Amino acid sequence: MQSILAVDDSPSMRKMVSFTLSGAGYHVVEAVDGQDALEKAQSHEIDLVLADQNMPRLDGIGLTRKLREDPKFKTIPILILTTESSDQMKQAGRAAGATGWLVKPFDPNRLIEVIKKVIR
């Protein structure tokens, strides 16, 4: 079973994402912010990271940058969830090494569709 690290500071969004992905047959590891995600990524086998952009302590792009520094996470897909699909955000995401982005709000079916495109 493939594992997805779902990172969001909002409990309701986290629950929604986690429920959706579990329902689609993925194992979900939840993290409450970027910092928490870094710790969880070290203690779990992770196949994909789905991170909210705007979070306390460490945001999605910051998390991506940190994860990419670690050879273990050089190639895994990292998707950024954001409410703003602004170009500045996209540029920053790309520069940090993110695989792609998904604009909030999103439909649960859309989330699975996007995940299936990138997870191996």
**Contact between 77 and 46 (Cβ < 8 Å):** no
Instruction: Output 3 or 99, the one with its CB closest to other proteins.
Output: 99
Q: Which residues contact 33 (CB under 8 A, 6 or more apart)?
A: 7, 9, 55, 56, 57, 58
Binding track, positions 48-67, relative to other proteins; x by CB under 8 A: x-----xxxxxx-xx-----
Please report whether residue 68 would count as binding other proteins according to CB under 8 A.
Answer: yes
Among 36, 38, 41, 50, binds other proteins (CB under 8 A): 36
d(CA 8, CA 75): 22
d(CA 27, CA 5): 9
Among 2, 3, 27, 106, binds other proteins (CB under 8 A): 106
Q: Any idea of the CA torsion for 46, 52, 57, 63, to the nearest 10 degrees?
A: 40
Among 26, 33, 38, 63, binds other proteins (CB under 8 A): 33
In the complex, the residues that contact other proteins under the rule CB under 8 A are: 9-13, 15-16, 19-20, 23, 32-33, 35-36, 48, 54-59, 61-62, 68, 74-79, 83-88, 90-95, 97-110, 114, 117-118
